[in-house]
Structure 1
Amino acid sequence: MASTQDLQTLLRFLSQDAKVPLAAAMSKVKDMQAAKMITPNDIAKADMESLQKIFGDDKLARQVFNAAKRVSKKRTNSDMSTASTSTIPASSAGKRSKTSFGAPMDPASFEASLALPSSDLSEEQLKEVVVFTNRAPLVLAFAVSVLKYTMPSQPLSSRLSLAQAVCSANSQSKAKYLGIQNGASAEDEGWGEGQPLVTVLNRQIRVMKRWGYTWKEESEVKEEDPASTQGTVQGDDAQETVAPEEPALWGVDLEALKNSNEPVTAGAMHASTSELPIYRPESTRAYMLKAFGSKPGAEGKPAKSLSAKKAAEEKERNLGMLLASLDLLCQSWNNTLSKEDLDKRAWSWYCAVRPEVESGAAGWGGKGDVKLADILKLRRQPG
């Protein structure tokens, strides 16, 4: 059985060397352990079909496989058989936070490309739906949905980035609590100090202002109700109101910032976003689209096998139905609760409906049912 240190090393390999989003990496550790793929060498020797089954995505499986081969080869060539896979060479530290997402597009097109699925089902139909998932993507779904109401002036790209920031922070805290991850996190060490803070799902996260990012037509901005587009960004010593003219935000990836070993400076704000230590919305969206399956067949038997295309379509529909249910929940309380209270209440809602998993490290990454009827029961009752 893999030790806690082995699991920690595997997690670091997936999130740092293979560049798998942290929440996604954490959800796969248990499956990797069951398949006896603990070290990069194990993964490099595995067959691609097994990796594809675990990650559910050919491209991501290939990404992990290639990273394992690269790390294994590097360790062999340098005769460092006892080195940790989490070691980051100084010469490449600045490169770890860089991700290529293709040529930039105009802001309006960029926001449109991030559109999330929706559902036209009635409330009664939604109540019959059960999705099968683990906890991390459910946190993302709650955060993205709630931010639509607590920080309505933020574009979808910002909501996805902020959602990933809070999900990763929660996952790191949980991993440390369970002993899966040891040592101080970048947050514990004070990385990002001086950057503004926002509160999402009752947790403060560091953000970066996206100066000059305009994603709406001027007429569209003028038509908005200013009272409905205000949020609060908290500085270290004071608070400032975010009015409609204030910029969009990025969630700061503190671990990437730590690995780059560089401060977030004013000059960096004008660099390419692929060079900034931020959570990219494209990765968050892609993860969410693949995270919500359907409940397996009776008595734990697999449901009818679907083609890759059909399975992807089913997961996308499930996400649309989940987001529709969460939107109905938030709508019911939006005119009753303040933005601060809505944010606090949302975390308790998540805790009430999250999938049941085994306690302790055994339940890490475990999946379970999320009944949309349970979400809809949390709506404010009239009267």
Structure 2
Amino acid sequence: MASTQDIQTLLRFLTQDAKMPLAQALSKVPDLQAANLTSPSDLAKSNAETLESIFTDPKTARQVLNASKRVSKKRATQSPNPPPKKRKQTITSLDPLTGPQIEASLALPAPVLNEEILKSAVIYTNRAPLLLAFALTLLKYTMSTQPLSSRLSLAQAVTSMNSRAKAQSIGLEKGEVGEEEGWAQGQPRVCIMTREIRVMKRWGYEWQDEDNHAEARDETGEPPLWAVDLDAVRNANQAAAPPRFRNARLDDLHIYSPQSARAYLMKAFNTPAEVAGDNKVKADGQVPVPGKSKSKRTAATMAAEKEGNLSLLLGALDLLYSSWSPILSKEDLDKRAWVWYVRVRPEVAQGAAGWGEKGNVKLGDILDLRRRAG
């Protein structure tokens, strides 16, 4: 049976080397697994007829076969001792920076709160980054004393755990996750949008401004938190330690990276082609030129457009949560957040075909979820 890593490697090959759309690649993974074709080398040893029976299109089958042979040949000529892979970012990689420096580096664009702009704005994205934005903005109201780095880490945990659960339900991933195997024993946890998140307390982390050197804690007396990536902990330690989280060394504790979460948000929200020019805001505050040719846009222009769309989304979510927070408890607001996300997330195909598929999100629909006055 192919492991999760094998599936990820296969998807990376299909989308990057064989140039297949992600949705199409995902839909073919079960068929490739059934045929025991789970790596480029397996595919290179296959033949056009077998691949045509899986991909149905002869052109696509030849494309995959040629790419697999090219990749396999390249790997065969590489040095038998490749350089070691970089380790996944760990907690200690953040230590050289001061708390205020860390938080400043993670700053997000300011939310746009102009309702007239938001009512007509539409963004084009897939479900995962939208959930990340929902969770991150929720935490401004339910865990407001947590620093941005903690809120990004916690929100990424919600998103990753939801994606993993979905992948298992549609057959793209098999086996147990880290928590089910016991790696979370004894660790505290918090509930965010129906997900139980295992956390690690960041004792001694000072993140406020220079005039306040006291360690920050929330109203319950808890210090800032990291969301722990239990699957990463398991993968790094299972060969050397029994499945008990507390036996892992501090330097090996893996977290959901706030930097990765921020980078994901900054690049995830496009403007639908049919409404290009209608989202009346950009990162620099300028109004886009309607009908401007996309072929002439630079990478900087597209990045600014995505940043502007993130500002729009964060503004709509801020208006939604702020309308309910005065009358709902934090627990009830948390429960409602998941329902609201489901109401406005993009419509996608069922099963593996819809994995990663993008769609339109009307920010006016988010505004319609606000509490009505009176």
Say yes or no: TM over 0.5: yes
CA gap of 1:95–1:204, structure 2 versus 1, over 3 A, is: same
Shift in CA distance, 71/256, structure 1 to aligned 2, threshold 3 Å? farther
1:265–1:99: structure 2 CA closer, same or farther, 3 Å change rule? closer
Deviations 1:38-91 (A, max 9, x none): 8456999xxxxxxxxxxxxxxxxxxxxxxx97997389988xxxxxxxxxxxxx
1:49 corresponding residue in structure 2: none
The alpha-carbon deviation at position 117 of structure 1 amounts to: 1.0
Range moving further from structure 2, 5-14 or 199-208 = 5-14
Name which of 6, 9, 12 aligns with 1:9: 6
Gaps of 5+ in 2: 14-20, 33-37, 45-69, 276-291
For residues 32-181 of structure 1, the aligned pairs below 5 Å read: 39=39, 73=75, 95=87, 104-120=96-112, 122-181=114-173
Q: 1:336 Cα shift?
A: 0.5
**1:193 Cα deviation from its structure 2 partner:** 1.8
| Counterpart residue identity of residue 73, structure 1 | R
Task: State the partner residue of 2:223.
Answer: 247
1:208 to 200, 204, 213: 200
The one-letter amino acid of 1:375's match is I
Are residues 1:310 and 2:301 paired? yes
> Does the residue aligned with 1:297 lie in a helix, a strand or coil?
helix
Q: Distance in 2 between matches of 1:196 and 1:142?
A: 23
Per the normalisation by structure 2, the TM-score is 0.71
Alignment deviations for residues 270-312 of structure 1 (CA, whole Å, 9 cap, x no partner): x4xxx431011001100110100011238xxx98233211111
Q: Is the alpha carbon distance of 1:43 and 1:278 closer, same or farther for their aligned partners in structure 2, counting shifts above 3 Å?
A: farther
CA RMSD for the aligned pairs? 4.0
Match of 1:30 in 2: 23
Task: Give the 3-state SS of the residue equivalent to 2:176 in structure 1.
Answer: coil
Aligned residue in 1 for 2:363:
372
Q: CA deviation at 1:95?
A: 4.3
Query: For the structure 1 residues 5 and 267, does the alpha-carbon distance in structure 2 shift closer, same or farther, using more than 3 Å as the test?
Result: closer
Question: C-alpha displacement at 1:139, in angstroms?
Answer: 0.7
User: Which segments of 5 or more consecutive residues in structure 1 lack a partner in the other structure?
Assistant: 18-27, 45-67, 79-91, 231-241
**Do residues 290 (structure 1) and 267 (structure 2) align?**
yes
Give the corresponding residue for 1:89: none
Query: 2:190 matched to 1:198?
Result: yes
CA–CA separation in structure 1 for the residues paired with 2:95 and 2:89: 18
Q: 1:285 is paired with a residue of what secondary structure?
A: helix
Inter-partner Cα distance in structure 2 for 1:121 and 1:361: 36
Task: For 1:265 and 1:313, locate their aligned partners in 2 and report how far apart those are by CA, in whole Å.
Answer: 43
Contact 1:5 1:180 in 2 (8 A): no
Q: CA deviation at 1:112?
A: 0.9
* Count of residue pairs brought into register by the alignment: 310
Distance 1:99 1:147 in 2: 21
Whichever residue aligns with residue 6 of structure 2, its letter is T
CA deviations over 1:113-143 (Å, ceiling 9, x no partner): 1011124451111111100000000110001
